[in-house]
Chains A and B, each alone.
Chain A
């Protein structure tokens, strides 16, 4: 589902994240959940963010919504969001419970979470929960809100929407709940949809339905999607651009073809090699030795160097490589490809 035309590639960006850092102040020290992350998402783009648990991909998404939980704090960087009327807003500068961010959150930027059960209220009907979002952002009129909610349920493929409006989340299956979440997110016609592992809790056939729905809605509403997942297969099937995160940093960034056919960073390579693929016969999977360290008081070194089979002793373990454009629009953070170091603060 790549870009339809070459010209689309240079489309205007809808959000520019620059040098974003999010730290969690915990008893053991400062946990750098997100460490100088930069990327931008163009209009109508399907942008994938991939990484293993604890790499900071969810915290990155939470920062875009200004929903980082305590004791987390955005300590640096900017998130420039380009609004509908061409205005530019740095989301980091906004008061996180002020009216400005609330006009954007849920309205221009909407989010779908991993666990649809815990994201819906068990004591309110589906209809009321949908109408709440609509009445907050689109219209105060109850009748109109009802019509919009009904239309959205129908659009996301829920059979019998009129009857379903009065039912409660426990009447819905996992896939149906995720459809409701998507209906809710789409009801305000957002320009950016953040999907944080929306299919991880679902079966593979239901996952296929939801991926299809997200791709369809993207085309229909002309929105950009930030798709967060640990599943390389999903990224390959639906995304245009990909950023690979490891230990709070983006280690590689490029088009989906670059990442899958010409991975530059040893972590990306290993991640691809350790994934069993359907239809492929390998007697043994490659593994990545060791485990991800906790990002608290890490030494100045490449975060992957302890597990990296290709590390260069004397460089990788004493300095942090910078994220450098190695090929056209293909960035990697690795001394194997470029000697430039990250300027440490």
Chain B
């Protein structure tokens, strides 16, 4: 890990206006992302977990500037000694930066245009960035196909000829096309079966080593995030409530929400006894969040201060940041430690 992070997000906010009536007056704000800070080192995988509606996808989209953030800075190191603020760039400037950061999408069935051949799909980012054309483009795409474990001779086939796992490999090849430094993978394996999921996870790990990639890995499946991440951030209603090194977060969580999330993951072992914490109610509405700590209505350790005061995200042990008033006092249960190997 180098000292200089490849990506440094500070105070990121993305609000969506709530409009009402004929005149479309703005009557409120949905705070999809509210003051998020995060860092990714070169070659590192940061896992971002949270329930649907927690804002994790919006964070990913803001970082790639698929959405314009309402506020905040996104310092992205596009080359040695060259850092740009993605949040401030104009569309024109963005075009030059885009090849450095790409995205892998969730659904390999909807994210590939059925009327385009694999050559068109994987070659598009190269064409847009004027990096290759003609024979050179074809060679590059053929090379990428082999890198992700597909046969180069299938270049002129259409997506329908491939299975779900193979399509996701095509999505990975497209993300790799321009030799990026950062890949935002938004639920890249959640539409896949278990056996195919393992193939794609292994592929992503191999590629990371080979091409020195940094990943922002967004997912709701904690066991997948645990497997692939170096550090993990947990989001709840637009805010990061805990971020730490993987082992710290999974074995020694300091936030009650992390504890509940971990306990809710079913363990594929009938003899592992653990307490499943059933959280009452549902994730809060980001247009009308609760007072104080957003998690307090569902928290089983709630005290008076939680209703009134919002806890700041603070470093409660080295490298572990938690936003809970009682992070030091509570002794929370982590994931069941299992022996190494299958």
**Complex Cα gap A190–B330 (Å):** 44
Chief secondary structure at chain B's binding surface: loop
**Chain B interfacial residues counted at CB < 8 A:** 53
Q: In the complex, which residues 271-288 of chain A have their Cβ closer than 8 Å to any Cβ of chain B? A: 271-282, 284-288
Binds B, one of A143-151, A160-168, A199-207, A335-343: A199-207
Question: Is A139 on the interface with B (CB-CB < 8 A)?
Answer: no
Q: Are A276 and B201 in contact (CB under 8 A)?
A: yes
Which residue among B269, B278, B336, B340 has the maximum number of chain A CB atoms within 10 Å of its CB?
B269
A122 within 8 A of B: no
Report the minimal beta-carbon distance from A341 to chain B, rounded to whole angstroms. Answer: 26
CA distance A53 to B194 in the complex (A): 10
- CA of A11 to CA of B197 in the docked complex: distance in angstroms? 38
Q: Does A260 contact B (CB under 8 A)?
A: yes
Counting residue pairs across A and B whose Cβ atoms lie within 8 Å, the total is: 140
A138-188 contacts to B (CB < 8 Å) = 173-176
B265 interfacial by beta-carbon distance below 8 Å: yes
- Judging by beta carbons under 8 Å apart, are A275 and B336 in contact? no
Q: Is B23 an interface residue (CB 8 A)?
A: no
Asked whether any CB of chain B lies closer than 8 Å to the CB of A233, the reply is: yes
Query: Counting CB contacts under 8 A, is A334 at the interface?
Result: no
Whether A260 lies near B220 (C-beta < 8 A) is no
A280–B52 CB distance below 8 A: no
> Which candidate, B111-119, B152-160, B223-231, B319-327, is the interface stretch facing chain A?
B223-231
Contacts A234-B266, A275-B268 hold; do A208 and B202 have CB atoms under 8 A apart? no
Say whether A212 faces chain B, with CB atoms less than 8 Å apart.
yes
- In the bound complex, residues from chain A placing their C-beta under 8 Å from that of B264 are 204-205, 207-208
| A277 in contact with B268 (CB, 8 Å) | yes
> Given that A204-B220, A205-B264 are known contacts, is A277 also in contact with B338, CB under 8 Å in the complex?
yes
Q: Is the CB of B250 within 8 A of A287?
A: no
B15 at the interface (CB under 8 A from A): no
Report if A70 contacts B (CB, 8 A). no
Per the bound structure, the CA–CA distance linking A310 and B240 in Å amounts to 46
A contact residues around B52 at 8 Å (CB): 174, 203
For the complex formed, measure the closest distance between the CB of B256 and the CB atoms of chain A, giving whole angstroms: 12
**With contacts A208-B278, A278-B226, A279-B335 known, is A232 near B194, CB below 8 A?**
yes
Name 20 extra pairs, CB < 8 A, besides A212-B276, A236-B267, A275-B268. A52-B193, A52-B195, A53-B164, A175-B282, A205-B264, A205-B279, A233-B268, A236-B269, A236-B270, A236-B272, A260-B268, A276-B201, A276-B223, A276-B224, A278-B262, A278-B265, A280-B340, A282-B227, A287-B195, A291-B165
